[in-house]
Structure formats: C-alpha cells, structure tokens
Amino acid sequence: MRIIFYILQKEFRQIFRDKVMLPIIIVIPMIQLFILSYTATFEIKNTRLSIVDQDKSTTSRALISKFSGSSFFTIASYETSYEDGMERIKTGTTDQLLVIGKDTEKKLSRKEEASVLLVTNAINGSAASLMNAYASGIINDFNRFILEDQGPAGAVPALIAVQSRHWYNPKLDYKTFMVPGILVLLVTLIGMFLSGMNIVKEKEKGTIEQINVTPIKKYQFMIGKLLPFWLLALFELMIGLAFARLVFSIPMEGSVVLLLGIASVYLLVVLGLGLLASTVSDTMQQAMFISWFFVVIFILMSGLFTPVESMPAWAQNLNRLNPVAYFIQINRMIMLKGSGFQEVSGLFVALCVYAAAILSIAVKRYKKTA
C-alpha cells in the first residue's frame, strides 16, 4: 500500500506541476459542455420559407400568418412564380417553398378540395423530414380551423379526444436530452486520452525503464497510474452535474450517489481502454490515434446523436460492446427518469464485466522486466 501511495504522490505532483494541463482537464470540458449543449441539436428553427401566393385572398394571408407566427419558420421572400421560388431553393437562399394556388379561397367557400404545394430542399434528409413535419402540422391545423369554421356540414366529428402528456421532458427541450449524454462524452474523452498518454509518456522520456527495474509489481504500478485520473474524472463529472443543474436547469430526479457509484465503474472501463492503447503504443501519437479510433466509433454508435433503434440489426448487436452507450442510457435514466438500481442493474453488470475484462487484458499486455 505504501508503494502505491508513493506512485500516487508522484503522479499528482506531475499533474499539478503542469500549469497548462490542469485548466485543460477541468475548465475546457465545461466550456465544451456549454457550447455543445446549445449547438448539438436536431431541432430545426428559423427555416427559411419562400412563398408564392397566387390567390392573394384572406384565406391565403391567414395561412401565411400561421407560418410567420411559428418559431420554426422565417419568411425569406415572396415570389411571383413557382420558377422564381425554385431558383431560390437551387441557390440555397431558401429551404422551403410554399405555393398557394389560384382560386383557393373560392374552392374552400364552395366546400371543394383545394391544395397547396410544399417543396423542400432535401439534401439533408433528416432536416428535410423535420421541416416537412413542421410545415404539414401547420397546414393540417389550418385545415381543421377551416372545417370548424364551415360548421356542422363541413366539420368532421371528433370521435376520440386525445390529450398528450410528455413525461420526463415536459417542455420537449432538446438540451434536457443532450446534456446528460454530453457529460458522458466529456468524461470519456478526458479519461481515455489522459490514461492513454500516461504510460507512453514514460516510454518517450525513458523513465519507464527505471520503473521496470524496481521491485514495484505490475498491479501497483497500474493502480498508481490510473487512480489519479479516475479521481479527476469523477471530480469533473460532479462539476459537470452541478454545471448542468445551475446553467441548464437539468433535473436530477434520481440518486447522485447511485450515479457516481456506477460512474466509478464506467471510468474503470474507459481508463482500461486508454491503458490498453498505451501498452501497445510506443509514442504518444500512436496512443492518441488508437484512442481516437475507438472514441469516434463509440460516440457515433452510442445513441448520443442518433437513436440506436434506427441502426441496422448488425450495428445494434455490435453496439453491445459499446460501454459509452451503456453509460449514456444509465445517465439519462437516473437524471431524467429517477430510475433506481433495479432499473439499471442489467447495464451496471455489463459495465462490471467490461471493466474486469479490459483491465485484465491491459495489465497482462504490460510487460515489466525486473
């Protein structure tokens, strides 16, 4: 135990001696959390809409006011023809084109069917789907208003009244969904990269040979190397949780102690992966590339930005090896749903198995010549 204490003392001295590294570890992740929470979103707001109003009636103006009054749309221009509107879409100066045909009001007053044309720039397929959904929602709402205004003869009776309630995120705020996931992302990056570069730095400086000829055992060396970054990552997670609560008003419905307990096991997985990368690398550059390779795959498949359910079956099966996906799910369940240990026990057991396996492989890979 005394040997481990001396190694820890050496590691903390190296960390606090570096005047640049400590702010990078603590301050920069909080800045990233603040920026990413506002920018990493799939919500579509201020969609640029061009309008061709060939009817120029009270009805057409009422429909246009529906779009202009929505926070999702900004009227970019009024065009005189369909061709002019399409030219704006081709040049990228507008995202959608709404064409209201002639005699729309007359047809509606005669209770005939009238139609409008909605053209969407679909280069970005996911954004186009959202823009279409928002626009279709406004048009359908306007259509119901017209049916009700026409009276019993034109109205469609509502046989089922639907009331919607949104649990866990009542305001449908995208930051509430993203912040818990971004917290996991930042802790993962810090833990994996720092542990990945730690042993390699000793190799590059040549001090690893001095350590290898000492009676220090492998497990003592590994504990002394990993424990400082484990503590720093936990400390950073606690700061991030406080930051999320104070700045973004993200609720903590569940137990903080439970979350930190599971995080401590998750960090063993992350640090073990970084340690494994360092044992197979000879330079810090190699360790960085190997760590980055795994981090990119883990993050993109974690469900942070895209739903796991939308992935192909083979990708969902491969995602069972993704510890980031496990902890993002756990973090969201505890923070937003107030889940207890029973609800996350399966995911927790998977992390424990992952931690034991990856640390065993990393320690075995490290060759000590003494």
What is the CB-side half-sphere exposure of residue 196 using CA atoms within 13 A?
A: 26
pLDDT attached to residue 86: 93
Cβ-contact 50, 77 below 8 angstroms: yes
What pTM value is reported for the model?
Answer: 0.78
Let me know whether 208 and 300 are in one domain. Answer: yes
Let me know whether 72 and 27 are in one domain. Answer: no
pLDDT attached to residue 217: 78
CA distance 231 to 362: 19
Let me know whether 29 and 57 are in one domain. Answer: no
Tokens 């003494």 belong to residue: 370
Return the bridge partners of 118, or none. Answer: 98
Let me know whether 135 and 36 are in one domain. Answer: no
Let me know whether 331 and 186 are in one domain. Answer: yes
Return the bridge partners of 120, or none. Answer: 96
**Position 234 pLDDT exceeds 60:** yes
pLDDT attached to residue 21: 72
Let me know whether 30 and 58 are in one domain. Answer: no
Nearest partner of 278 among 294, 298, 257, 262, judged by Cα: 294
Of the given ranges (16-20, 104-108, 173-177, 304-308), which has the lowest mean pLDDT?
A: 16-20
Q: What is the mean pLDDT of the chain?
A: 85
Let me know whether 35 and 59 are in one domain. Answer: no
Number of structural domains (the chain) is 2
Cβ-contact 195, 274 below 8 angstroms: yes
Name the residue with higher pLDDT: 163 or 183: 183
pLDDT attached to residue 351: 95
Let me know whether 105 and 25 are in one domain. Answer: no
Please give the torsion angle defined by the CA atoms of residues 305, 310, 314 and 318, in that order, rounded to the nearest 10 degrees: 30
Domain hosting residue 354, numbered range: 2-40+171-365
CA distance 142 to 96: 18
CA distance 253 to 274: 32
**Position 302 pLDDT exceeds 70:** yes
Name the residue with higher pLDDT: 139 or 161: 139
pLDDT bucket at 49, cuts 50 / 70 / 90: very high
Let me know whether 257 and 332 are in one domain. Answer: yes
Let me know whether 326 and 198 are in one domain. Answer: yes
Let me know whether 260 and 321 are in one domain. Answer: yes
